Chains A and B, each alone.
Chain A
Amino acid sequence: MDDDPSPRPPSARRDLAAAMLLIALGGAVAWVGAGYRIGTLGRMGPGFFPLALGLILAGLGVVLLVAPSLGEGGEDEPADGAPADPRGWGLVVAGMAAFLLLTRHGGMVPATFALVLLSALGDRRNGLRTAVALALAMTLVGVVLFRFLLGVQMPLFVWGR
């Protein structure tokens, strides 16, 4: 989707990881599904469908394992060859996690501020001042738009707990 200056060709390790993921997920789904009553084709229990789905998913993983060329998309490969960015990812995730924590233990205002501040800092081109300004702006917008105009049920400030 993005114009990447240097897309890396799909690596064998990535293909293996993709196949293993499918096998693991499919296996897990089938495992849990089999724990519910399966029943028969004519009177299906709750476990039937998940078991079938899990087996299919795992089966597709095996197909990818055996024939990794089937896992390539031809000319329209989804772009993903960018280098890993743990700092950016970490800050965005931290921002959302902060939102989760602070909504319960601080209220909407600190939660919004923390979310926007942390996630904005994830982009190296955002200086601290930009991030703080953005956070303040979004907190204001958030309070006005969501709390007062739209009536979202989220306390602005939560003390204690």
Chain B
Amino acid sequence: MQVLAEMWNGFSIALAPGHLMFAFIGVFVGNAIGVLPGIGPLAAISMLLPVTYGIAPTAALMMLAGLYYGAQYGGAITSILLNVPGVASHAVTCLDGYPLARQGRGGAALFMAMFASFLGASIGILLITLFSPVMVGVALSFGPAEYFAVMVLGLLAASVLARGSPVKGIAMVVLGLCLGVVGSDVNSGIMRFTFGHPELADGLSIVALAMGLFGVADSLRNVNRIGDAALRGGVAARAVRPGREDLRRSWLPMLRGTSVGAFFGALPGTGAAIASFMAYAVEKKLSRTPERFGRGAIEGVAAPEAANNAAAQTAFIPTLTLGIPGDAVMALMLGALMIHGIQPGPLLVAEHPDIFWSLVASFWIGNVMLLVLNIPLIGIWVRLLRVPYRMIYPAVLFFICIGVYSVNNNLFDVGSVLAFGIGGMVLVRLGFEPVPILLGFVLGPLLEEHFRRALLLSRGDLAVFVERPVSAALLAASAALVAGTLAARLRDRRRTAARHRADGG
């Protein structure tokens, strides 16, 4: 078949020593940067972009892509060990990964994360190869109403199924949407909510938001609170490998997470972040012991990690084949492509099949490299836990400040980090969960755009969302989800209250 021949050709190009070297550099630096808190793939790619100007496009792409999915591996490490997600898609990994680390099982969690990541990525790459044409067809049939509906479902699922009150979760998503409004309006060109600050013309910095809400707010919360004793939980060599129980619990979540991730990654407008949220939500809903989630359930690490790595791979599908980026990082990759004179879109695969397929081949090679790299290094990452937190967090704050600064070279972003840190702290003390804010922020502009376009096409008729079957189904699912969760919560509370009364207080 034509595809196989082109894949073979792609592999032979990707395995050329020069290309292998660049892929390795990208993957290694990406992993390291994913581990360093405060610097995510966004900052890394933008920092290294100028370096690639002098390199041939294929090699440059391999390196940048390696940075991206390499950081996905590394980001899991900081999420689990330090509760600081390098990028939005890892916020969910913190929820169970960090408690596992605190319990002394950080090694097991990391292993699971690596396996899950590799599995998710491999299957994602397989899917890219097999289903690119099919997926493009499905995506093309989605109109703005369907995109709007699927985003609403994803956002509601993320907010309602995460920890804490569903109402407060939805409020946080809406807050994130509001934060996404800041900046120049795409349609009218006027500045919204910028209050005279030119730095806000492109909106709030996503890196600043993520770093502030999670990194700084966490430092504020944990200063003086995390004792050294808690971290020392016996990190023996035994604890480094996951037990049979962990594997048994995780393999199905990994597969489920991969499917969720592959699906959401391929849809333009949704990416690794929503994929990992949804995978976590699915696992929690399907689990027979949902209260373990948020306290150290290994499935809570395996599923989202499989999902976000699968999504990271399949996110390339719409970016390369349609020219539509799935999230901020993909948008950056798109920019990198165009700087090198390559116009992504349906013509890319037709006119430059060698570029497309060698890139896909390099994904697989890169993921193998990452798995090989990380297995021996996990012991080193785990040893990081021995360093008392009181010495880690000032360094983390420094990495955050300089990492955020490096994206745009302006101090306004660093100031934003501080503001978001304080805000995040306030929100947590009031009982809100900040994770959905990031999701709302990332999807806000797209959500508005699809909403506006759908109504433009229907000439102001709101019924369009229920008249179109796919959109109606998705919105109905969203409503059912919210209603169902609220009902379940009310029922649980009544049960707990009754039990308390029965126990005499």
Interface residues of A (CB under 8 A from B): 1-3, 10, 14-15, 17-18, 21-22, 25-26, 29, 32-33, 36-37, 40-46, 48-50, 53-54, 56-57, 60-61, 63-64, 69-78, 80, 82, 85, 88-89, 92-93, 95-97, 99-100, 103-104, 108, 112, 115-117, 119-120, 122-126, 130-131, 134-135, 138, 141-142, 146, 150-154
Contacts and interface: CB of A to CB of B under 8 A. Distances in A.
Interface stretch (B3-11, B125-133, B338-346, B407-415): B407-415
B401 interface: yes
Contact of A74 (B174, B181, B391, B489): B489
Contact of B291 (A36, A60, A75, A125): A75
B377 to A, nearest CB: 18
B460 A40 contact: yes
B222 A2 contact: yes
A57 B175 contact: yes
Interface stretch (B105-113, B196-204, B423-431): B423-431
Interface stretch (B70-78, B223-231, B470-478): B223-231
B220 interface: yes
Contacts of B455: 41-42, 44
Given A100-B411, A150-B47, 4 more contacts: A17-B430, A50-B192, A76-B163, A89-B220
Nearest to B293: A76
What interface size band does chain B fall in? 35 or more
Interface of chain B: mostly helix, strand, loop or mixed = helix
Interface stretch (B183-191, B244-252, B257-265, B317-325): B183-191
Interface in B484-498: 486, 489, 492-493, 496
B223 A73 contact: no
Interface stretch (B19-27, B306-314, B354-362, B392-400): B392-400
B451 interface: yes
A57 B401 contact: no
Nearest to B170: A60
A18 B225 CA distance: 24
B451 A49 contact: yes
Nearest to B440: A53
B168 interface: yes
Interface of B: 47, 83, 94-95, 98-99, 102, 163-168, 170-171, 174-175, 177-178, 181, 185, 187-188, 190, 192-193, 216, 219-226, 230, 291, 293-294, 388, 390-391, 393-395, 397-398, 401-402, 405-406, 409, 411, 414-415, 417-418, 421-422, 425-426, 428-433, 448, 451-452, 455-456, 458-462, 486, 489, 492-493, 496
Nearest to A125: B390
A72 B223 contact: no
B394 A154 contact: no
A138 B425 CA distance: 25
B493 A72 contact: yes
Given A18-B430, A95-B394, A116-B398, A70 B185 contact: no
Contact of B174 (A10, A57, A63, A120): A57
Given A46-B188, A57-B178, A74-B493, A116 B394 contact: yes
A26 B395 CA distance: 36
Nearest to A104: B411
Given A36-B190, A72-B165, A80 B395 contact: no
18 contacts: A1-B95, A36-B190, A46-B187, A54-B178, A60-B171, A70-B167, A71-B165, A71-B167, A72-B165, A76-B294, A92-B216, A93-B421, A96-B397, A120-B394, A125-B390, A126-B390, A130-B391, A152-B405
Given A99-B414, A150-B47, A74 B492 contact: yes
Nearest to B415: A100
A10 B397 contact: no
Contacts of A33: 181, 192
Contacts of A141: 395
B414 A119 contact: no
A14 B426 CA distance: 11
Contacts of B390: 120, 123, 125-126
Nearest to A150: B47
Contacts of A100: 411, 414-415, 418
Given A14-B431, A50-B181, A78 B163 contact: yes
Nearest to A40: B460
Contacts of A134: 391, 394-395
A85 B224 contact: yes
B452 A97 contact: no
Contact of A80 (B224, B431, B460): B431
A95 B461 CA distance: 53
Contact of B168 (A50, A64, A116, A123): A64
A97 B168 CA distance: 30
A123 B223 contact: yes
A43 B225 CA distance: 52
